[in-house]
Amino acid sequence: MTRGWAQQLDYDFLGESPPVFWWHPLAHRGRVVLEQPEIVVRGGASPAVLVSGVPSIRRDVRSTRIRYTLVVEELTDQPGLVRSLVAMGLDPEQRERFGARLDAVFDADTVDGMLSGTVPCEPVVGHLAELLGAAYATHPEPSAEAEIDGSWAGPVGGERARGAFLARIERLAAGEPGLAFSSHALTTVAGAAQAAAEQPDPCAILLVNGVLTEVEPLRAAPVEPSSESPVDRTQNLVGRLAEEAVRLFRCRRPQ
């Protein structure tokens, strides 16, 4: 995904879009900021990686530097590529280099043409596959760090958090369900816990900003379904309301 020079050539995928925008709930609630350098890794049957904020040398009509968001899906049995993409996403220099490689393939005219429909987009997938193959002929070794079970958040600069994040990536790439992502928007344990509670599977979250100095487990507050029917609950509530009113009246009565 990238944008073109003109105002109306807004951010969009070059060529075919992913069938499901699986990262959208995170972005919509502001849990990740795709305008910033973020990583989102989805585990499960079809692991996928999103890396946003990959810088281009291209600029738009307002001279704002354009960026790419790269979404690579169907990464089953490709843990090495997942590792490489995450390593690139976590390292500003690698990100910059990858942006330059993308720019070499997708120059300004090509991008503008693709986004306005005058240049065919079919070659995009082939170009990207070639580019990824060339950029990542060898992959980083699997993380030897200890995994932390369940949902947790940690500082992006923390050694333990980063190690545990990479270890979680291994499990996600192997098909374990869950999400691992960085966040430029979440800053507190409470916020991260809320974001994790919105997901059906465990989350590992690296906070770029905020006050965390160590890895913190995220425990959602247990929600116990009530056995009372709405009518019972209403009647009970009215009863409690009456009791409170009596207590309040007693409180206020002059002695």
Partner 1 sequence: MSELVDVEQEPFRVAVVGPSRVGKTTLLTAILSETERQLAGTGVRILAGETTEERIHQQRRALRRAIAAEEFDAAALSGNQTTSLYEVVLRADSEPGVAPQDRIDIEIPFSILDYPGGWLNPVTRNRSAEAQQQWPACEDHIQRSVMLLVPIDAAVLMEARKPAERGSVVDLLGIEEVTAMTRLWARSRKDSGSEPAVLVLAPLKCEKYFDDNGGGGKEAPRLRQLVQDTYRDAVEAAEAEAPGRVKVVYAPIDTYGCVELMEPIWHDVGGEYLEFTGHYRFRGRPPRIQEKAAATVMRELCRSVISAQAARNTELARAATEEQRRIFERRYLRKGFFGALTFYLSGEAWWARRDGILTAKQLIAAKQSERKLNSALRSLSTEADDPRVEVWQLR
Contacts to partner 1 from residues 166-185, by CB under 8 A: 184-185
CB of 243 to partner 1, least distance (A): 9
> 159: Cβ–Cβ under 8 A, 6 or more apart, which residues?
none
Q: What is d(CA 118, CA 138) in angstroms, rounded to the nearest whole number? A: 36
Cα 65 from Cα 237, distance rounded (Å): 57
Q: Of 25 and 150, which has the nearer Cβ to partner 1? A: 25
Closest CA to 74 of 3, 152, 129: 129
46 near partner 1, rule: CB under 8 A: no
Among 111, 191, 205, 218, binds partner 1 (CB under 8 A): 191
- Please pick, from the candidates 57, 61, 100, 125, the single residue that binds partner 1 as defined by CB under 8 A: 61
Is 135:98 a contact under the CB 8 Å cutoff?
yes
Closer to partner 1 by CB, 146 or 249: give it: 249
Judged by CB under 8 A, which of 56, 69, 151, 182 binds partner 1?
Answer: 69
Token couple for 3: 């944008």
Token pair of 126, please? 């082939």
The verdict on 227 binding partner 1 (CB under 8 A) reads no
**What's the closest the beta carbon of residue 74 comes to partner 1, in angstroms?**
17
Distance CA 247, CA 235 (A): 18
Shortest CB 81 distance to partner 1, Å: 24
Q: Are 183 and 195 in contact (CB under 8 A)?
A: yes
CA 188 to chain CA centroid, nearest Å: 16
Q: Does 162 bind partner 1 (CB under 8 A)?
A: no
Contacts with partner 1, residue ranges (CB under 8 A): 1, 3, 5-13, 17, 21, 24, 27-31, 33-35, 52, 59-65, 67, 69, 117, 184-188, 190-191, 194, 209, 230, 233-234, 236-238, 240-241, 244, 247-248, 250-251
